[in-house]
Amino acid sequence: MAAIKRKDTKPEVRLRSALHRAGLRFRKDYPIRIQGRIVRPDVVFTRRRLAVFIDGCFWHCCPLHGRTPTANTLYWSPKLRSNVERDLRQTRDLEDAGWRVVRFWEHEQTVNCVAKVLGIVRTES
């Protein structure tokens, strides 16, 4: 587990690079304090109050690519379930605090993710 990266994963770096090339400036892994907890979206547009998450298919139970591990299910099933519950709680808490939350799966095309973020950022200007 020590080798698992919490930030700067390949999908995150691809998205951030594409957003930067599109002329957008943002914070990465920026801590947002919500109800006494810290939420760290992968990309944050502070002025627009937009939080972007890039969720890994395995770790966040993607409906297309997520799978239930066959080994050590007593450990992995609750772990993955708690990840999904945390994602839902963080999204709800951020939205309740006035943030817009966008979540992408790691398998989504970067160009589509960039287009969606650009659409949100430019319409809220």
Q: How far is residue 2 CA from its own chain's centroid?
A: 20
Q: What's the confidence (pLDDT) of residue 121?
A: 93
pTM, rounded to two decimals: 0.90
Burial class (CB in 10 A: 0-12, 13-18, 19+), 56: buried
User: What's the CATH class of domain 10-123?
Assistant: alpha beta
Per-residue pLDDT of the chain (125 residues; tens, 9 = 90+): 545 556 778 999 999 999 999 999 999 999 999 989 999 999 999 999 999 999 999 889 898 887 788 888 889 889 999 999 999 999 999 999 999 999 999 999 999 999 999 999 988 65
Q: Distance (Å, rounded) from C-alpha 120 to C-alpha 125?
A: 9
Q: Distance (Å, rounded) from C-alpha 98 to C-alpha 32?
A: 12
Cα separations (Å) of 89 from 83, 85, 110? 10, 6, 25
Instruction: Specify the DSSP class assigned to residue 42.
Output: S
